[in-house]
Structure 1
Amino acid sequence: MVDILRKPMRWSTAAARHPSALLLAVQLASLLLYPLMDGSESRVLFSAFTLVAVPLAVWVVSRSHAANGFAWALAVPAMLLAGAAIGFDLPLLGVASAALESVLYFYAAGALIVYMLEDHTVTVDELFAAAAAFTLLAWGFAYAFLVCQAILPASFTGVVEPERPRRWIELLFLSFSTLSGTGNGDIMPLTPYARVLVMLEQFAGVGYIAAVVSRLIALSIVRQRGRSRD
């Protein structure tokens, strides 16, 4: 009985020590479940789940009540607008929700990047933060693509049914492939605004690898060399 009671405490302690790992797990879990439920309602349900995790992770990482308040100020209206979009069948509310979600994910990614760059030591949580920030950037641009497509319906095309609007999972695929520099695959931007968004994500991906990931790798090597000398 004591062991059963201790397990939740161990999980909560691990989550407090490595909030970036918790955020990364939530993002990857939702990524695996998206293909099974790719409708607009399912997107809202999964968005609500991740929108709760993101501001909590930002609060734990930044240790700032102001940062926590700002994140919730974005997350709560986004979830309310998303629910209202489904309940009242108002697509414009869904677009507004996606815009807030995009800003929230960019803010959370920025908070994690500041957290990783604020000192000259590399912790386990910072390594998880590097992966979590990458997924946050990918989600942020995917929501930006969604808003762009809602405003300009012909913004993106694809090999399969090129004239229809791209689904959420397709825009998320475009975001991951663009941010990682592996190419756009079968989804392409058509309008100038869509292409500008893709170019900005390409720039962000290259800058993230050069400024953040390379720095963490270099600091990890320095730490290992220091341990070897000792």
Structure 2
Amino acid sequence: MARQRHKPIEASLFSQLREEVHRRFAPHRHSALLYALITAFVARPLIGDTGAGYLLFSVALVFLLLVALYNINVDELVGERGLLLTQAKHRRLLGWMLAIAAGLERIATIFVHNPMLDMAGTIIWFLFVVFIAASQLRSVLRQREVTGQTICMAVSVYLLFGFAWALLYALIYQRHPEAFSGIVTGTQVRPTEFQHLFPIFGYFSLTTLSTIGFGDITPLTIQARYAAVAEGIAGQFYLAILVARLVGMQMTQSPSQDAAQKAFDSGTEGR
């Protein structure tokens, strides 16, 4: 009997703790995803090729994975509820499958060093990042007002584009090392390791996405060249569409705010 009494109490405490965490974290989940992305990008380059760099990079990836999953699980539902609930259930299932596979890959790389595992890990993380980017882009396009979280979400999508293409370049390089010129490989690790390739192709991806194009790394094969061109086009189209979308939301939002303010002022004067 005592054990049966303790179980409902423990379940109630866990439920209250989960609701409290959700209440505090949910309004800031998009900014948390942005911080996780920035951490994942800067962790390895700032620490370097030391063991601490690899560890911090893995921790940053796991943090990114958890925050991204949370964003999927609490995604807003706008539209026909029954259909959206079914779609949300499928998205969560797919997200959890990819996240579990990505998490297991991070653990496996601690104990096993194999080129096939490196390539499989790159593919898994690429699919996961593409999935998260598509989910966040869908949320950005469904927003109805411009807030700080909307801006964080929009910037996160832009960085997720860079993240996804960095993984794509790494995958191309793992299959065809001659696909890029200007890749300087380290002597302490294999040149095809995911941890070593990400900071290099993360730099190349961001310069391509922003159309800076320093030219120190050059795609040589047809696959690498078209991937780089596609990223540059996607980055420019996204910025153009995003700016138009945000301006449109702001213009729609301003008249409604003015009307609400006038109604409030009229009610105050009447009193």
TM-score bracket for the superposition, by shorter chain length: 0.7 to 0.9
Matching residue of 2:201: 171
Identity %: 23
Matching residue of 1:101: 125
Q: Distance in 2 between matches of 1:202 and 1:220?
A: 27
Q: 1:154 aligns with which of 178, 182, 188?
A: 178
Is the CA contact (8 Å cut-off) linking 1:38 and 1:169 kept in structure 2?
A: no
1:61 alignment partner, SS class: coil
2:213 alignment partner, SS class: coil
Gaps of 5+ in 1: 1-8
Letter paired with 1:146: A
CA displacement, residues 108-151 of structure 1 (integer Å, 9 cap, x when unaligned): 11111111212543343222110111111111111111111000
Q: Distance in 1 between matches of 2:102 and 2:73?
A: 18
Gaps of 5+ in 2: 1-18, 78-87, 186-190, 263-271
Displacement, 1:105? Answer: 1.0
Matching residue of 1:216: 246
1:227 aligns with 2:257: yes
1:59 aligns with 2:73: yes
CA displacement, residues 130-189 of structure 1 (integer Å, 9 cap, x when unaligned): 01111111111111111110001111222867xx77832120011111112222542221
Larger Rg: 2
Q: Distance in 2 between matches of 1:200 and 1:51?
A: 26
Q: 2:217 aligns with which of 168, 187, 195?
A: 187
Provide TM-score, normalisation by structure 2.
0.71
RMSD: 2.8
Q: Is the deviation greater in 11-20 or in 192-201?
A: 11-20
Q: How many aligned residue pairs are there?
A: 221
Is the CA contact (8 Å cut-off) linking 1:54 and 1:105 kept in structure 2?
A: no
1:28 aligns with 2:38: yes
Matching residue of 2:167: 143
Go from structure 1 to structure 2 and tell me whether the alpha carbon gap of 1:184 and 1:214 turns closer, same or farther (over 3 Å shift).
farther
Matching residue of 1:48: 62
Displacement, 1:62? Answer: 4.9
Provide TM-score, normalisation by structure 1.
0.83
Is the CA contact (8 Å cut-off) linking 1:101 and 1:143 kept in structure 2?
A: yes
1:76 aligns with 2:76: no
Q: Distance in 2 between matches of 1:79 and 1:38?
A: 23
Letter paired with 1:113: L
Go from structure 1 to structure 2 and tell me whether the alpha carbon gap of 1:52 and 1:209 turns closer, same or farther (over 3 Å shift).
same
Matching residue of 1:6: none
Letter paired with 2:223: Y
